[in-house]
Amino acid sequence: MQKVVSEISQVKHSLTKNRSEHLGKDVWRDFVIPRFFNRVDLISTMPTRLEGGRGSGKTMLLRYLSYHSQFSRNRISIPDNALERIGLYWKADTQFLRLMQKRGVDEEVWLPVFDHYLNLKLSLEVLSSVVSIMESNHAGISQNDIDVVVFDGAKDFGFENESFTLVMREINSRIRQTEVIIQNVHGLESLNKLPISFLQYIVQTTITLFPALKNTMFSVYVDEYENLLGYQQRVINTRIKHSEPPIIFNIAIKLNGMSETLTLSDEKLENRADYSIVNLDSEIEKSGFDSFVAEIFLKKLTEASPTISKDINIDLSICSSPDKLDDRHQKEYEERCKTIISNIFPGRSHQDLADEIFETPRYYNKLIYEIESALKQRDSELSAEDFLSPQFRKAMIVCTSLLYRKSLAVPHIHDQLKKLELGVENKFTNKTAWEHNNFIGCYLRIIRANKASSTFYSGFDVYSALSGGNVRHFLELCKTAFSLIDDNSLSENFTVDRKLQHLAARSTSEELIKEINRFTPLGTQLSNFVKAIGKVFQLCQDKETQSETEVTHFGIKEDDTPLTEEDDRFFKEAEKWGVLKAIESTKNKSTASAATFDYVLNPVYSPFFLISYRKGRKIEIEASALRMMYQNGETAVSAELRKQLRLSHVIDAINQPKQASLL
């Protein structure tokens, strides 16, 4: 028993380590190979631009591809062909690299300094990779091999030494000297700058002098490329453009992160001709996000708790092997993963939600109250009792909005309900589908006053949908859910109660909204916007009539004023940070601005506003109003805007708890 309890705390801990950064550069043991891995060519001689939002696993993937993981000491047997491609990972230290500009020095002077620094850093990586291979379980390189290597051309570059170890040490020392010079500017002009031919020399000599590396190609992966200065991006672009074996340059960026396509000559970097784009978000989605996160979660679980996973009876070690990808795409295996995780995070059907309303006195009272007030508003002779339908709970709940609609006669709705009860064709369940189209909206409106008792955001499928394709968000949700249960209870029954899941989703959502402020440089505006647009969606979903059910995305109208460049930048940033997702608009506009797209709010923010996470309807909002929203936040949702959006009559959700507590 004690053992299980301690394992549970391990499980919780393993969920907090959900950023690659926590794992260091060697991710061999923890990495779940993405399910698309064999479908995209990440290791060819064609440079790759790997793009994806925050939390899509870019860094993790790059670290997996780098020598730190491929030649990890945790990798017991390393095949010979691992030497064919050695990945070098380089993440720019942006605080420092951004000091390589201005300061009384021209860009033409800074550029060769950056180039020199890059050459030193990458040369060091090349040599470090050789040392890693020597220390790994691969027998290709021995200490003796390293000891006898002589870089006899190093002197031509002004080096004092020739041996492998001393050249490496000298590179290190030159890196430090360069850093001090960059820090203080003094000495910049007289710095002995190493050209790219130095890096080429190091690479060429390394593969010539180590027989095991004779077929080796080095792949450089530049992480967080978007943080580099323009000219620094141009330096990297030039290297991409002229990539050829034995050294290929690749980059990883956030969406919309590539502002610079120029190289150092007049040539532009062209998609397809010069590099191929791999979009991680869409690849993950295409290859089955549900299955992927289920595997990641279960792998963490099995590693942290052998006792609990004993009963699971599934082999997740295949997740670490690129050869086993086909097995992971077997239907049976995928179903098995989902079943196991759905047992841990049990979900609810619409019927369950309807039952919840009937069985929770507060909700039930609110249901009756809504029917009564609708009937009163419509001056109907029918009473709430005429709509009582305990056998057809969903239909009765849907009546809370149908009855408000002026377009529907009250007796007609009553008729249809009676028909449903009699089992004959009716608008609740036939192709008009009142029930299907309106249930969630009506449900959310009823529970709003007392959100904590709900189970709306529960179930693996819901958690997966809330994550919006972002692995990190999924793990955050799971982590919060587990944190609400003590280890002893979990050791008795390893499952998360639906109510707790709902609470966890709300609290995770709130935390993630707080985090938006940190999405530099427009964090405040992004945060303002999310609060405002969330409010708008909330009001839409709160409409009595539910005539616009589940509004979760918006389009941009440019009737009053067109989008400005600043607006465009805002939407690009929102997309870059995954706050909004752009989708093809049904409109066909000729402009190339953000207005050609519709935008969906990241579903992970929906629990905070208690709104639907499903892609529902769209609302058109004026560009000027959207601008106000990112500038001023929630206050931008003024009476005037409400009027424009036909939301004037919706009772403010903030006032609602008071109203409900009277019941």
Partner 1 sequence: MIELRSTYSADEYSFPFEFSHGFVGMPIDDRSQYSIEFVRQECQSTSLFQYRQQTLDVVIDGISIECHLLDEHIAKSKPTSILVDSTSLDIPELALILKALHTCSGARIVLLYVEPIEYTSGESKALEQEDFTLSNEISGFEGAGIPTVSMPIDDENLRRFIIFVGFEGGRLQSAIETYDISSEEARIYFGLPAFKPGWESRSMRRNLQALSDQSIGGRIGYCSASSCTDALNSLRKAKASDEGTINYVVPLGTKPNSIASILFTLENPKSVRLLYDLPNKRNGRSRGIGRRHYYHYLVP
- Residues in region 136-175 near partner 1 by CB under 8 A: 172
- Does 461 interact with partner 1 (rule: CB under 8 A)? no
**What is the distance between the alpha carbons of residues 448 and 441, in angstroms, rounded to a whole number?**
11
Q: What is the number of alpha carbons within 13 Å of residue 511 lying toward its C-beta?
A: 11
Q: With beta carbons less than 8 A apart as the criterion, state whether 48 and 250 touch.
A: yes
Binding partner 1 (rule: CB under 8 A), the pick from 104, 322, 361, 423 is 104
**What is the distance between the alpha carbons of residues 447 and 364, in angstroms, rounded to a whole number?**
10
Binding partner 1 (rule: CB under 8 A), the pick from 179, 352, 386, 497 is 179
Binding partner 1 (rule: CB under 8 A), the pick from 267, 515, 558, 622 is 515
Q: Which of 579, 595, 484 is nearest to 532 (CA)?
A: 579
Q: With beta carbons less than 8 A apart as the criterion, state whether 593 and 563 touch.
A: yes
Asked whether the bond before 657 is cis by omega within 30 degrees of 0, the reply is no
- Does 58 interact with partner 1 (rule: CB under 8 A)? no
DSSP 407-439: TS-HHHHHHHHHHHHHTS--TTTSTT-HHHHHH
**Residues 322, 328, 329, 335: what is their CA dihedral angle, to the nearest 10 degrees?**
-170
Binding partner 1 (rule: CB under 8 A), the pick from 76, 186, 391, 424 is 186
- Does 513 interact with partner 1 (rule: CB under 8 A)? yes
- Does 6 interact with partner 1 (rule: CB under 8 A)? no
- Does 452 interact with partner 1 (rule: CB under 8 A)? no
CB under 8 A: which stretch of 28-36, 90-98, 331-339, 360-368 binds partner 1? Answer: 90-98
66: which 2 tokens?
A: 């780098």
CB under 8 A: which stretch of 89-97, 281-289, 378-386, 655-663 binds partner 1? Answer: 89-97
DSSP, collapsed to helix, strand or coil, labels residue 568 as helix
CB closer to partner 1 out of 184 and 215? 184
Phi, psi of 191 (to 5 degrees): -65, 130
Binding partner 1 (rule: CB under 8 A), the pick from 148, 185, 409, 663 is 185
CB closer to partner 1 out of 591 and 638? 638
CB closer to partner 1 out of 91 and 405? 91
DSSP, collapsed to helix, strand or coil, labels residue 345 as coil
- Does 29 interact with partner 1 (rule: CB under 8 A)? no
- Does 17 interact with partner 1 (rule: CB under 8 A)? yes
**What is the distance between the alpha carbons of residues 480 and 493, in angstroms, rounded to a whole number?**
17
Residues whose CB falls within 8 Å of the CB of residue 274, separated by 6 or more in sequence, listed in order: 47, 240, 241
- Does 591 interact with partner 1 (rule: CB under 8 A)? no
- Does 638 interact with partner 1 (rule: CB under 8 A)? no
CB closer to partner 1 out of 98 and 193? 98
User: CB of residue 608 vs partner 1: minimum separation in angstroms?
Assistant: 9
Residue with tokens 């550029």: 111
User: CB of residue 59 vs partner 1: minimum separation in angstroms?
Assistant: 9
347: which 2 tokens?
A: 């979900």
CB under 8 A: which stretch of 10-18, 210-218, 355-363, 437-445 binds partner 1? Answer: 10-18
- Does 261 interact with partner 1 (rule: CB under 8 A)? no
Residue with tokens 């992480």: 223
CB closer to partner 1 out of 127 and 308? 127
95: which 2 tokens?
A: 């605080």
Binding partner 1 (rule: CB under 8 A), the pick from 73, 102, 214, 643 is 102
User: CB of residue 261 vs partner 1: minimum separation in angstroms?
Assistant: 21
Number of neighbouring beta carbons within 10 Å of residue 168? 21
Residues whose CB falls within 8 Å of the CB of residue 489, separated by 6 or more in sequence, listed in order: none
- Does 657 interact with partner 1 (rule: CB under 8 A)? no
- Residues in region 187-206 near partner 1 by CB under 8 A: none
- Does 73 interact with partner 1 (rule: CB under 8 A)? no
Amino acid at 190: S
**Contact characters 206-235, partner 1, x per CB under 8 A:** ------------------x--x--------
DSSP, collapsed to helix, strand or coil, labels residue 468 as coil
580: which 2 tokens?
A: 């909004």
User: CB of residue 185 vs partner 1: minimum separation in angstroms?
Assistant: 4
CB closer to partner 1 out of 283 and 476? 476
Which residues, in sequence order, are bridge partners of residue 621? 556
313: which 2 tokens?
A: 């009876």
Binding partner 1 (rule: CB under 8 A), the pick from 9, 44, 101, 585 is 101
- Does 184 interact with partner 1 (rule: CB under 8 A)? yes
Binding partner 1 (rule: CB under 8 A), the pick from 6, 16, 137, 383 is 16
Binding partner 1 (rule: CB under 8 A), the pick from 2, 77, 81, 95 is 95
Binding partner 1 (rule: CB under 8 A), the pick from 183, 489, 564, 638 is 183
What's the DSSP call for residue 590? S
CB closer to partner 1 out of 74 and 183? 183
Q: Residues touching partner 1: how many (CB under 8 A)?
A: 41
- Does 566 interact with partner 1 (rule: CB under 8 A)? no
- Does 21 interact with partner 1 (rule: CB under 8 A)? yes
- Does 568 interact with partner 1 (rule: CB under 8 A)? no
Binding partner 1 (rule: CB under 8 A), the pick from 3, 155, 376, 518 is 518
**What is the distance between the alpha carbons of residues 524 and 104, in angstroms, rounded to a whole number?**
32
Q: Round the CA-based radius of gyration of the chain to a whole number and report it.
A: 30
Residues whose CB falls within 8 Å of the CB of residue 342, separated by 6 or more in sequence, listed in order: 459, 460, 461
CB closer to partner 1 out of 534 and 616? 534
What's the DSSP call for residue 594? G
Phi, psi of 117 (to 5 degrees): -65, -45
- Does 652 interact with partner 1 (rule: CB under 8 A)? no
Binding partner 1 (rule: CB under 8 A), the pick from 617, 634, 646, 651 is 634
Give burial (CB, 10 Å; 0-12/13-18/19+) of 613: buried
3-state helix, strand, coil in the chain (%, to 5): 55, 10, 35
- Does 524 interact with partner 1 (rule: CB under 8 A)? yes
- Where on the chain is the footprint of partner 1 (CB under 8 A)? 13, 16-17, 19, 21-22, 24, 93-99, 101-104, 172, 179-180, 183-186, 224, 227, 510-511, 513-515, 517-518, 520-521, 523-524, 531, 633-634
